[in-house]
Amino acid sequence: MDNELQKIQRGYSRISGFYEFYNKLLYKMFGIGDTLQFRQNAIDSLELKKGEIVIDLACGAGINFSPLEEIVGIEGKIVGVDITKKMLDLAKKKIKENNWKNIELIQCDAAQYTHPEQVDGIVCTFSMYSIPDYKSAIQCCAENLKSGRNLSIFDVKLMKGFMKIANPILFFVTRNIGGSYEKLGRKPWKEMEKYFDNIHITEDFFGLLYYAVGTKK
Q: Which residues bind ligand SAM (CB under 6 A)?
A: 5, 8, 12, 58-60, 63, 82-84, 87, 109-111, 125-127, 130-131, 178
Provide, rounded to whole angstroms, the least separation between the CB of residue 96 and ligand SAM: 18
111 or 199: whose CB is closer to ligand SAM? 111
Provide, rounded to whole angstroms, the least separation between the CB of residue 162 and ligand SAM: 26
Q: CB–CB of 12/177 below 8 Å? A: yes
66 or 147: whose CB is closer to ligand SAM? 66
Which residue sits closest to ligand SAM, CB atoms considered?
60
124 or 197: whose CB is closer to ligand SAM? 124
- Residue 116 and residue 177: Cα distance in Å, rounded? 29
Alpha helices in 99-159 (DSSP H): 134-144
Provide, rounded to whole angstroms, the least separation between the CB of residue 82 and ligand SAM: 4
Residue type, 205: F
Provide, rounded to whole angstroms, the least separation between the CB of residue 195 and ligand SAM: 18
Strands of the chain, DSSP E: 53-57, 77-82, 103-107, 119-125, 145-156, 196-204, 209-216
71 or 87: whose CB is closer to ligand SAM? 87
- Residue 54 and residue 118: Cα distance in Å, rounded? 10
Q: CB–CB of 143/117 below 8 Å? A: no
